[in-house]
């Protein structure tokens, strides 16, 4: 009703057309003159007696209100139709894909991909990879998880790297380009890291390959696109590296973390027992090296709290998500990374000592509603 009230005057008709993205036709002369009076010459209302003038004015006002309400309703219905068409088109595209995700459940990069797939209601099968033998991914020369196999008709594509998987699938859903074409936009590049070990990186992995019209429809402006890319990269380059030092911070926390990993992962009975105790001891020691490598504070909780509050400040108070009224790819990435700590002491501390919980619960709810 508030929107209808704003278009009760004749100018509201033109506004309603603009909201729908339709050029506004000219208003009828008698309607314009009846309300505005004789703007360019003497209208019938200008020479009528006072009573007739008031009657004509009231009639014109009623007509303007009716026209405004009509075009507001038409605009609203048209926008609903467009949303339904977009949803139907996206559903049609997703129906063409058969997805299989190879993962470790407790891996933050894998959790990012699941958050994306669930929010976009993309059905997928999960193959839990044994982290010791990794026999489930012996078909792949790329030996990290996540790996996503996407069957599109007769074409089977392998997508590697969590951010590439997300960018490629989002590009597919928005543009409808063939997936086998889209993945060529993210070529792998091999290089040596500081330790002399060969690593694979992917070009353009935070970019969605959209044309100008598609990008405008999705983001509304360059600033929103740049912001999303910046924080997606922040989740990969910084936030992820705070997880291990925090969940393996003490021997007790390390043991609790590996108990969770063994329960949720794919281990044999002997492997599980060995992993729980030897793995916990090893990761407790390794976490100290990670703290030094990433220049973390002595109390690594402080770095985690600062990161969470920095993210909340970036989202701001005027929008529920960084994406506005719904989570964008940065929201899903940050949520996916943090979610792997659920049930652990580090997660409870994070919720208790930072401002992130309301945002976290909103994303959780949005994903649950979208995947129903």
Cβ contacts of 324 within 8 Å, gap of 6 or more: none
* DSSP helix/strand/coil, 149: strand
Place of tokens 């919720």: 351
Task: Answer for the pair 168, 159: CB distance below 8 angstroms, yes or no.
Answer: yes
- Chain centroid to CA 128: 24
**Residue 277 bears catalytic tag:** no
- Chain centroid to CA 70: 35
Within 10 angstroms of residue 251's Cβ, the number of other Cβ atoms is 11
Catalytic entry in 71, 109, 119, 219: 109
* DSSP helix/strand/coil, 340: coil
DSSP string, 161-230: SHHHHHHHHHHHHHH---HHHHGGGS-EEEEE-TTS-EEEEETTTT-----HHHHHHHHSSHHHHHHHHH
What's the rounded Cα separation, in Å, for the pair 225 and 328? 10
**Residue 203 bears catalytic tag:** no
**Residue 248 bears catalytic tag:** no
* DSSP helix/strand/coil, 157: strand
Catalytic entry in 20, 71, 102, 104: 104
**Residue 139 bears catalytic tag:** no
Residues forming beta bridges with residue 160, ordered by sequence position: 147
Task: Answer for the pair 16, 66: CB distance below 8 angstroms, yes or no.
Answer: no
Catalytic entry in 75, 107, 219, 360: 107
Tokens encoding 306: 């600062």
| Residues belonging to the active site | 104, 107, 109-110
């Amino acid at each position: 009703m508030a929107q209808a009230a704003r278009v009760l005057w004749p100018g509201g008709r033109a506004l309603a057309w603009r909201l729908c993205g339709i050029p506004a036709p000219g208003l009828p002369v008698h309607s314009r003159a009846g309300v505005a009076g004789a703007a360019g010459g003497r209208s019938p209302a200008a020479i009528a007696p006072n009573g007739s003038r008031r009657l004509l004015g009231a009639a014109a006002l009623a007509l303007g209100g009716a026209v405004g309400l009509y075009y507001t309703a038409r605009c609203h219905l048209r926008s609903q139709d467009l949303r339904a068409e977009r949803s139907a088109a996206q559903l049609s595209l997703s129906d063409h894909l058969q997805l299989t995700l190879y993962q470790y459940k407790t891996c933050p990069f894998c959790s990012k991909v699941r958050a994306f797939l669930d929010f976009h209601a993309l059905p997928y099968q999960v193959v839990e990879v044994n982290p010791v033998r990794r026999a489930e991914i012996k078909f792949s020369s790329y030996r990290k998880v996540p790996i996503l196999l996407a069957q599109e008709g007769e074409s089977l594509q392998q997508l590697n790297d969590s951010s590439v998987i997300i960018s490629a699938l989002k590009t597919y859903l928005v543009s409808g380009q063939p997936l086998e074409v889209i993945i060529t936009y993210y070529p792998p590049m091999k290089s040596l890291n500081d330790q002399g070990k060969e690593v694979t990186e992917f070009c353009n992995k935070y970019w969605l390959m959209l044309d100008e019209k598609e990008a405008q429809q999705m983001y509304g402006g360059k600033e929103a696109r740049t912001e999303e890319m910046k924080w997606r990269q922040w989740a990969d380059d910084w936030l992820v590296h705070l997880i291990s030092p925090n969940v393996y911070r003490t021997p007790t926390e390390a043991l609790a973390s590996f108990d969770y990993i063994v329960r949720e992962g794919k281990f044999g009975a002997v492997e599980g027992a060995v992993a729980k105790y030897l793995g916990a001891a090893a990761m407790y020691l390794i976490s100290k090296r990670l703290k030094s490598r990433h220049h973390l504070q002595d109390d690594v909780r402080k770095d985690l709290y600062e990161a969470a509050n920095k993210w909340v400040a970036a989202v701001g108070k005027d929008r529920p998500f960084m994406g506005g009224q719904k989570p964008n790819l940065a929201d899903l990435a940050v949520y996916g990374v943090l979610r792997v700590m659920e049930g652990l002491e580090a997660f409870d501390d994070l919720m208790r000592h930072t401002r992130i919980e309301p945002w976290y619960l909103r994303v959780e709810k949005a994903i649950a509603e979208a995947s129903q």
